[in-house]
Structure 1
Amino acid sequence: MIPSTTGFLDKDFEITQQPTYTHLMQLDNKMIRGYTDGQEAMRQAIFKILQTERYQYVIYSWNYGIETIDLYGQPVAWVCPELERRITEALTCDDRITSVSDFDFGTSKKGVVHCTFTAHTIFGDVQAEREVNF
């Protein structure tokens, strides 16, 4: 006998927003313990996106991560605006991040660009940073 499809399967479902409740990464002591939500979860999501090289890991979709490998060996005058574009592109793939602004670039060591910026999320603004070898 073929089951009827009345009831649960006939309803339309819509996901309005990605969940933020996730495991808490404690980077200072290299542990994952507890849970986090809201703005702290967004800080962690931004960190994870910017630490994952795009197209390098089969487990992630091609929309996840940032491309930085090809910046190595390029002039700093080209790396800074390109890094701004790539960070913005990588982070705005997440629906919870509305925009990225306030970029500031500096070179503390030879061959390293240090970038700080503000990610505007639905939970509030998150200050973040990323260093890239060029």
Structure 2
Amino acid sequence: MRGFSGIVAAALLLAGCGQPAALSAGKAWVRLPAVAGRPGAAYFTIQGGAQADTLLAVSTPAALRAELHETMDQGGVKSMRPTRDVPVPAKDALDFTPGGRHVMLFDLGPNVKPGTRVPLALAFASGKKLEVQAQVVGAGDPPPTL
């Protein structure tokens, strides 16, 4: 009987090790613009899966248009530029944060207000699609604790 329990324990350990990493996204939030009519910004974290992938686009029904952007530092002067896609390394976290990678949200709807949530749909080169709910915060509010 003691041999059987050892086999069961070993099988349980191996089963846990055999789970491949899954592509996922979370910690999503949206900052509203300080001036009405200007774009807002979306931030989140992507956890890479077993294989590297590429984020191609982010969309939301809360805005008419969404663009992937990155902040560049050129000799102490920061500027933003759109980017076509973002490589997602396997088994590693990729953060979209203020002052770094982010999604610009153009023409946000009038119902997008602090304290609400909006869906973000992420599309990847592998064909995978993820949806996360993003907490909306006001222009001067601190980022949410997620």
For the aligned pair, the TM-score class normalised by the smaller chain equals 0.3 to 0.5
Greater strand share, structure number? 2
TM-score computed with the length of structure 2 as normaliser = 0.31
Greater helix share, structure number? 1
